Structure 1
Amino acid sequence: MWNRISYQQKNRFLPLMALAGILLCWVLAFSKTFDALRLNQDLTEQESLRNDISFNPVYTQRKLTALERILKAYQVKEELWSNTLWMKASAAAAKQGATIDYTVLKTQERDTTLAGMAQSLHCYGSFTQLVKVIDTLERTPGIGKLSALQLKGPKDKGNFSGAAAGGTRNAQCVLRLDFRAIANKEIK
């Protein structure tokens, strides 16, 4: 029958046959591929939301606990902090054989970027003594946290024996320690 149809009549069936072929391809192959791509995209979004740690309650609780522990390390009794810092720093310096000066940081204008309170200590001694003082004060609770330190060598470079024997301050290393703390009204 197809052989008896003229060339012009075959051309009329061509768009219908092409449309039927495209429809057949869509049903057999393309629709399933598009459904698979859509499913892959949905599953990828679900996986990314599940792996997003900001929505994970276990991670959020662990993060909150860590932040509370850090904040607690900075919290001190406001009215006792100056004396507590001085006593504990003096004890640490005396234990290591270093000397200490205590300076309260006072500024003319309130620094709006400064959170909490600040204190500064100057220690004098040998390098080893000062490093031990730093280690001891860093582990001491209730005095805030060490925010900065500066260690300078002796000014009198020729007399190193004076640093170990507690000689003049020019023959000793100088350590400046800055502490920061946050006043906690709830600590009793």
Structure 2
Amino acid sequence: MREQILKACFDLFARQGIRKTSVEDLVASAGVARATFYSYVPSKEEAALAYLKHLYRSWANALEMSVAARGEGPQALLGVLDAAETLCGKDSEGGPHASLVRVLAEFGPADPLGRASIELSARLTAHIAELADAAGLSQPGEFAKDYRLLLDGVILSFAEDSPRAMHDAGILAEALIRHHLAPKEVRA
């Protein structure tokens, strides 16, 4: 029952944002009585924190699968963009709202939800750095920070319904990958 309630919460948070979603909206979407809702989810804030963790897991899983689907080597990192399109693109369930950055923008860094968003975003950046290291890139931490900037821009472009978002991001990602290739690979 808790999972059913949280799924209803996640769907509304992705579509409307956390602030705009009332407890009444959550109860109605879950199709349960208010008392039942509170017996499984003590507060809207707890549901929102669960949503952030869900977003993180969704991103981490999508990154792994998308990079693996691209094969091996540095060019496999283009799969990071595939993950963004899967999670935030026009045809995705969450659309551009399935973003930890959106939650940070909603609440700011001083709010517990904003701080949780920052922490989980940092974990995603570290995950990208691990993928970059495995692909043989130099300075994987710096690469990951740069790639996160690109990803956040892509997500914003999805929200603006930019038809060129993925094409332009692909060109920039390839340049970023080339920039971070280890010197011996650049000469080859």
TM-score, scaled to structure 1: 0.23
Answer with 1 or 2: which has the greater Rg: 1
Larger relative contact order (CA 8 Å, sep ≥ 6): 1
TM-score, scaled to structure 2: 0.23
Bigger strand fraction: 1
